[in-house]
A and B are shown apart, each in its own frame.
Chain A
Amino acid sequence: MLWTPAWTAAEVDLLVEARPGLSTAGLGLGGADGVRLRAFDAGELSDPIVSGRLSARLQASDGVVAVGYETASWVARELEGGRVHFVGGVSRLSGAALKARGWSGELSFPAGAFLDLARREGWRRVGVLLAAGYEGAEAALRAAAAARGLSVEVRTVSSRRDIPKAAQDLAGRCSALWVLGDPLLTRGAGFDYLVELSLSRRLPLLAPEPGMVDGGAFAAWEPDQEEAAARGAALSKGLSGEGWPASGVRFGSVAGRLRVNEVLRRRWAGGGG
């Protein structure tokens, strides 16, 4: 036959933004591991023909592992159900949506990435603003802080109305403010409020995406894209045919580096306004 009309074996679709050198072989994927690599050009996904075709394929997939921020945004917008696990880009999704769809994901940074910075900077207590649905990361966050001799104060918000009170409360008690993700806190009015609070109180704002440093955050994590793709591939092989991670958000383990807002750092270190 020219093609097999029915599905053959369980397959996981690994969705990664295309870049030079990305290949099935390079990610250690072969034909028999039940993982299909789908590399895409981010600019192409605004094309309704390309987007529709990919969406149709992924809707029928046994499971999708989505690597990266742009991938996560597209998946959140286009896919309605099925099993999805995010590697690195889960901070783009609302916790409520993750919970409602039963999806899971890893943040692009390990808990220690920002806590090590806090320790170096002498911030003894770090305030953490969590959106509802991100509570799964709290236990690991507290454990990582304790291991470093730091303490964390956590406030959970469910809507934009909750942000000012929760943020003000943390600002009065902590040396830095850390946001893990969710568009409620990383986009629009919510993020603008946190940046304003950070600048007015000289309270370092730690953000999940490197682009947010340009938007006024003090520091953010910049994941290594190759490592993230490799992590996605390894995870996909393990998930193929097996149970999927429980719904919720957890810390990731992808290598990367901290991107610090050096302008803010110099200004605050020098005592300037």
Chain B
Amino acid sequence: MSSSLERAVGRLALWAALLAAAVPAAAKVSFTGYGSFNFTADANLRVFAPPAVLGGLPDGTHRARGFSTEAVGLFAATPVGEDADFLMDVAYRGIGGTVRELRIQYAYLDAALPGGLRLQAGKVTLPLGYYNTRRFYPFRRVELSAPLFHSALLGLPIADTGGVLSWRTGLGDLDFDARLFGVNGYGSVPSSTASFRSAALPGGLAMSNNLGSSNSNRDVAVGGQAALSRNTVWEYGVSFYRGAWDRSGERLFQILGSHLHWAPGRFDVLAEFLRLDVRGDQGMLSAFGRGDWRTHGGFLSVSGPAGSVTGRPLSAYARGELYDSGAADGSGGHELVRSAAAGLSLRVNDWITWKGEYLWVDYRVPAVSAKTLQLMGYTLTTGLVVTF
């Protein structure tokens, strides 16, 4: 076990003990958790980029093989009222492309309010799309990996400090859910207050680094989701986010998304579409030629039964994604994210799942001096997901 993982496990245990000690004797704290571990049998990636972006890493073809701890998380839940719970997820993982570290994924009070409302207050996972709240954890999805744009660039999970108000009502056979949130919101890239993203800075392309522990301006980001569903068979929803990312509170970042989930029998289909709007981003001037830029794209994931192995159910899945980012007026260069994945998932029992996946990626973005940063290749990975 690596020393950083050892320290993380030690801190997880300390968190658990502190939480158990802090809760009144009448309340009970329940601890559950998960671990996700991968073995990359082969990674063949070609990286081409200006030296300033690579930060010392040589360009060319990179081959890799090895084990990794994807994530280890501890969930705590305790009732704190008649219809109120406090929930926490402390996890050792990386968000997007960040270095793995121990972090609080979420920690919030979930309470019923009059009028059929529910309030989540604290550090909450934002109701944006379907994947972010219901497929983020490896034990909640068939696939081994998450869509590349969401995991590496947007940053999964999208969680922030604030509050979410939820309301559900029945419409005949259907259910309607409405959620509104107010949070600190995305800020600038950590190393520059004038840039939301930057192709010239190591790690500057990932938006996941822009969610910090405090508000970067006086603006409270708002958003919400409206979804129509029928039991667990299908759900259609739209989501939005709107907040200023810069210190002066004048440059906007907006997300508009829609999702469709359909689960006929033992098959599962999920499609998500996304549009991002960013204003005044100096960091992407060299890439797009403009500070105002947009992203359009989406992914489609399909899974279904694929027989059994020694009586245990086997599932197969396939996923494709395509995202295109560029100047809002259509001029300049484009950032392109394409990936395709296919794999199998074997559910050994309620607690152990083995997965295997082939992932192909093609990412390119105009970087500095009109040179393009390009990452292309494939990985072949097996994974173990354990819950407890």
Residue ranges of A at the interface with B (Cβ–Cβ < 8 Å): 2-8, 41, 45-49, 51-53, 55-57, 59-60, 78
Residues A47 and B140 in contact, CB atoms below 8 Å apart: yes
Q: For the complex, what is the distance from the CA of A52 to the CA of B29, rounded to whole Å?
A: 9
A45 to B350 CA separation, bound complex (whole angstroms): 9
Task: For residue A189, give the distance in angstroms from its CB to the closest CB of chain B.
Answer: 17
Q: Give CA–CA (A41, B125) in the complex, Å.
A: 23
Question: Can you report 19 A-B residue pairs in the complex whose CB atoms are below 8 A from each other?
Answer: A3-B80, A5-B80, A7-B82, A45-B350, A47-B140, A48-B32, A48-B388, A49-B32, A49-B75, A51-B32, A52-B32, A53-B77, A55-B32, A55-B77, A56-B27, A56-B30, A56-B78, A56-B79, A78-B30
Nearest 4 interchain pairs by C-beta: A48-B32, A59-B28, A52-B32, A56-B30
B residues less than 8 Å from A53 (CB atoms): 30, 77, 85, 87
Residues of A close to B82: CB separation below 8 A: 3-4, 7-8
B111 and A3: CB pair below 8 A?
yes
Q: Are B387 and A2 in contact (CB under 8 A)?
A: no
Do residues B33 and A48 form an inter-chain contact, with CB atoms below 8 A?
yes
Within 8 A of A (CB), among B99-122: 111-113, 119
Contact between B85 and A57, CB atoms less than 8 A apart: yes
B83 in contact (CB, < 8 A) = yes
B26 touches A60 (CB 8 A): yes
B81 interface hit (Cβ, 8 Å) = yes
Complex interface: chain A residues within 8 A of B388 (CB):
48
Residues of B contacting A5 in the complex (Cβ-Cβ under 8 angstroms): 80-81
Q: Does B288 count as interface, using CB distance less than 8 angstroms?
A: no
Chain B residues positioned under 8 Å from A46 (CB to CB): 139, 350-351, 387
CA gap between A55 and B119 in the complex, in Å: 21
Are A60 and B32 also in contact (CB < 8 A) when A3-B84, A46-B351 are? no
Number of residues on chain B facing chain A (CB within 8 A): 34
Q: A52-B31, A52-B76 are in contact. List 14 more A-B contacts (CB 8 A).
A: A7-B26, A41-B232, A46-B387, A48-B139, A49-B87, A52-B75, A52-B77, A53-B85, A55-B30, A55-B32, A56-B30, A57-B79, A59-B28, A78-B30
Which residues of B have CB within 8 Å of A45? Answer: 350
> Which parts of B111-166 form the interface with A (CB within 8 Å)?
111-113, 119, 137, 139-140
Distance between Cα atoms of A153 and B44 in the complex (Å): 69
CB distance from B134 to the nearest CB of A (A): 10
> Chain B residues in contact with chain A, CB under 8 A?
26-34, 75-85, 87, 89, 111-113, 119, 137, 139-140, 232, 350-351, 387-388
Give every chain A residue within 8 A of B81 (Cβ-Cβ): 3-5
Bound form: Cα–Cα A56–B81 in Å: 12
Contacting residue for B29 out of A6, A7, A56, CB 8 A:
A56
Hey, which chain A residues are within 8 Å of B34, CB to CB? 48
Give complex CA distance A48, B33 in Å. 6
Given contacts A49-B75, A56-B28, contact A3 B33 (CB under 8 A): no
> Once the chains bind, are A47 and B139 in contact (CB under 8 Å)?
yes
Most buried by A among B26, B29, B32, B89: B32
- Closest CB of chain A to B255's CB: distance in Å? 25
Residues in B with CB closer than 8 Å to A47 are: 139-140, 387
CA separation between A31 and B111, bound complex, in Å? Answer: 19
Q: Given A46-B351, A57-B79, A57-B85, check contact A52 B113 (CB 8 Å).
A: no
Give the shortest distance, in Å, between B171 (CB) and chain A (any CB): 17
* B119 in contact with A2 (CB, 8 Å): yes
With both chains docked as a complex, state the minimum distance between the C-beta of B166 and any C-beta of chain A, in angstroms. Answer: 14
Known contacts A46-B350, A48-B75, A52-B31; decide if A2 and B26 are in contact (CB<8 Å).
Answer: no
Closest to B33 in A: A48
What residues on A are CB-neighbors of B350 within 8 Å? Answer: 45-46
Chain B residue with the shortest CB-CB distance to A41: B232
* A50 vs chain B, min Cβ distance (A): 9
Interface centre among B33, B81, B139 (most CB of A within 10 A): B81
Q: What's the Cα separation between A78 and B31 when bound, in Å?
A: 10
CB distance from A81 to the nearest CB of B (A): 10
Q: Kindly provide the distance from the CB of B285 to the nearest chain A CB, expressed in whole angstroms.
A: 42
Contacts of A2 on B, CB cut-off 8 Å? 111, 113, 119
Within the complex, the shortest CB–CB distance from A9 to chain B, in Å, comes to 10
Given contacts A46-B350, A48-B387, A49-B75, contact A60 B28 (CB under 8 A): yes
Q: Which residue of A has the minimal Cβ distance to B140? A: A47
B78 — which chain A residues lie within 8 A by C-beta?
56
Residues on the A chain within 8 Å of B137, using CB: 49
B36 to chain A, nearest CB (A): 12
Report the minimal beta-carbon distance from B266 to chain A, rounded to whole angstroms. Answer: 11
B27 touches A60 (CB 8 A): yes
Would you give the shortest CB distance from A42 to chain B, in whole angstroms? Answer: 10
Q: Are A3 and B83 in contact (CB under 8 A)?
A: yes
- Chain A residues lying within 8 Å of B77, measured Cβ to Cβ, are 49, 52-53, 55-56
Q: How far, in whole Å, are A52 and B89 apart by their CA atoms in the complex?
A: 11
